[in-house]
Chains A and B, each alone.
Chain A
Amino acid sequence: MQQVFGHPASLKDVQTHFCPGCQHGTIHRLVAEAMDSFGVQDRTIGVASVGCSVFLYGYFDIDVVEAPHGRAPAVATGVKRARPDRIVFTYQGDGDLAAIGTSEIIHAANRGEAMTVIFVNNTTYGMTGGQMAPTTLPEQKTTTSPYGRDVEQAGHPIRMAELLTGLEGTAYSARVSVNSPKNILQAGRAIKKAFEMQIEGKGFAFIEVLSACPTNWGMNPLAANERVAEEMIPYFPLGVFKDNSEA
């Protein structure tokens, strides 16, 4: 009998530490499947950022460098320039990439660094306990916006996938979600595409993944998933914003 589904080789067979309903595990799997599909596990170097995703070296069976908060695109730049024939990706949360690391992501994209960036947007700082992120939605309550995010005072949520699209160095930019089987399949395709862009030397590829944080949102996993569909996707539309694969 032909096996049509199995555990990705790039992912270790271990339990994760993530909270119930957290979608990092799903996203990890999609990234691992992408590496498997191109057979690049042995020549991939991951760059871990801070926050809930820092432990990715415990889950991905690949070489990993850990970066300071927000600096993963700079660390990945050093790695990729030193080893241009390796596949390099960063995996960053929204506080990491859209707040403290805004400068690093914009300039790595603008230089057209041949790397893949997986950007997990759950509208909050997860590991530090649910504070307001740059992506926190208007009126969303967090531990540092207890009355709801006031856009007059705190500014508006940043749409990173669209923002990076405007840069010449960005070769691919897309936003996906993992809140439904259909969206997970689409997300998987986009992540594969982002790795393919790098393998083919097309340049900087960016995938924003909308993700649930049930624990910090104070919701059960199903309600959190519904929130992604009803509140996040309307503000952060899914889609491919730039695709230079034919260029």
Chain B
Amino acid sequence: MSKRLFVKGNEAVAMGAIEAGCRFYFGYPITTQSDIPEYISREFPKVGGTFIQAESEIASINMLLGASACGERAMTSSSSPGISLKQEGISYMAGSELPGLIVNICRSGPGLGGIDASQADYFQSVKGGGHGGYHIIVLAPGSVQEMYDLTMLAFDLSDRYRVPAMILGDSVLGQMKEAMTPHPYEPPVDLPEKDWVVTGKGAHGGQRIVKSLYLGDGELEAHNWRLHAKYAELKEKEVRYEGVGLEDAELVVTAFGSTARIAKTAIRMARDEGLRVGLLRPITVFPFPEQAFLQATETAKRVLCIELNAGQMVQDVRLSVDRDAEVFFYGRPPGAGSLPTPEELLEQIRKYYKD
């Protein structure tokens, strides 16, 4: 298991899921994530897993809902337009407090858009996406290794909080190959028992109901407050981010996913020029690392947010930073040829850097 492998990001997700004990996959083909169902349909028979190529993205998220209600580790994967179709089911899963993994290997939009990498699904992912005012756990890997590692983590967090989890990747991360070291999954010892699953009441005595409908006076409000208390707990306990050179940074650059990799190169180039630039890369984009931004801007008073969209995460950055820190944005809406180069980002760093 410790041998280094040269694999695609999409395959790393599938490998991480299988290693984490996921044995139910429901999905529908869509570029740029089809390697995931292809890999799983090939490997699941060897481990006794159940793979269904559903008739639609809508059906597949609801199959996930059903398998999850039975207590199984289950997943679906798709790419942006398919994720839009799944939002109905994601909202129901959030309302029904069902865990489960949804992988979004983002492509460009809106609409059919294109198949180029994009970060324009940020709002849809972290602000609810479906109806009703909820959140899901959203993890944004920045490498093939993290595609593997964070997939395992997503299952654990999702099970612990009974909140659906999403891997928010993009077609660069999904399609690129790089070295990765697989490792055995170590289940957390303190994961709560799934004492809510439907199994037929004979297995547990009284009737169990998995539902999101609450019509009694005050019932739904209480349910929503309970959900929001979980989101607050996630913010308190489960924030993950990468910080590089924040100690002496005059300018904090922030970006997530594949964009952060390009930004890292630009930051190295800036450091070579003697500019004190740091990186704050959110790994959890929900819960957002609000405190990390607050802390980083105690000293650095300038933040440059780089995204592969017209400006989405920058709103969360603005809400998180110290009041007297300035936040700048550089982004490009997705599409062929819109991936920024390190030189392009270095130019932006120079522009917003102040001695």
Interface set of A (CB-CB < 8 Å, partner B): 41-45, 47-48, 54, 57, 61-68, 71, 74-83, 86-87, 103-104, 106-107, 111
Contacts and interface: CB of A to CB of B under 8 A. Distances in A.
Contacts of A63: 198-201, 207-209
B66 A78 contact: yes
B65 A77 contact: no
Which of B58, B66, B92 has the largest number of chain A CB atoms within 10 A?
Answer: B66
Nearest to A83: B70
B96 interface: yes
Which of A47, A78, A107 has the largest number of chain B CB atoms within 10 A?
Answer: A78
B201 A78 contact: no
Interface string B118-157: 0000000000000000000000000000000000000000
B201 A81 contact: no
Nearest to B88: A68
Interface in B49-67: 50, 52, 54-56, 58-60, 62-67
A229 B55 CA distance: 36
Contacts of A44: 200
A79 B59 contact: no
A64 B62 contact: no
A81 B202 CA distance: 19
Contacts of B67: 78-79, 81-82
B354 interface: no
14 contacts: A54-B213, A61-B207, A63-B201, A63-B207, A64-B207, A74-B58, A74-B66, A78-B64, A78-B68, A81-B52, A81-B66, A82-B72, A104-B55, A107-B55
Contacts of B70: 45, 78-79, 82-83
B66 A66 contact: no
Nearest to A57: B209
Contact of A75 (B65, B72, B212): B65
A103 B55 contact: yes
A103 to B, nearest CB: 6
A81 B210 CA distance: 17
Contacts of B9: none
B355 to A, nearest CB: 56
Given A66-B213, A74-B54, A78-B74, A104 B66 contact: no
B65 A67 contact: yes
Contact of A78 (B55, B58, B69, B211): B69
Contacts of B60: 74
B213 to A, nearest CB: 6
A80 to B, nearest CB: 8
Given A82-B24, A82-B67, A65 B88 contact: no
B199 A74 contact: no
Interface in B198-240: 198-203, 207-213
B26 interface: yes
Contacts of A47: 66
A71 B24 contact: no
A79 B66 contact: yes
B109 interface: no
B26 A64 contact: no
A65 B66 contact: yes
B89 interface: yes
Nearest to A86: B200
Nearest to A43: B200
Which of A43, A64, A65, A106 has the largest number of chain B CB atoms within 10 A?
Answer: A65
B75 to A, nearest CB: 12
A77 B63 contact: yes
A111 to B, nearest CB: 8
A57 B62 contact: no
A79 B69 contact: yes
Nearest to A66: B211
B201 A68 contact: no
Contact of B92 (A68, A103, A106, A107): A68
A42 B207 CA distance: 9
Given A57-B211, A107-B54, A64 B65 contact: no
Contacts of A64: 198, 207-211
A146 B68 CA distance: 43
A67 B64 CA distance: 11
Nearest to A58: B209
A57 B50 CA distance: 28
A215 B1 CA distance: 65
Contacts of A78: 24, 26, 62-70, 74
A41 B24 CA distance: 26
Contact of B202 (A43, A57, A74, A79): A43
Nearest to B198: A63
Given A63-B208, A81-B50, A104 B198 contact: no
Given A42-B200, A66-B92, 11 more contacts: A42-B201, A57-B207, A66-B212, A68-B62, A71-B65, A75-B62, A75-B69, A77-B52, A82-B71, A82-B74, A111-B52
Nearest to B212: A66
Interface in B69-96: 69-72, 74, 88-89, 92, 96
Contacts of B213: 54, 66
Contacts of B59: 71, 74, 77, 103-104, 107
B200 A65 contact: no
B201 A62 contact: yes
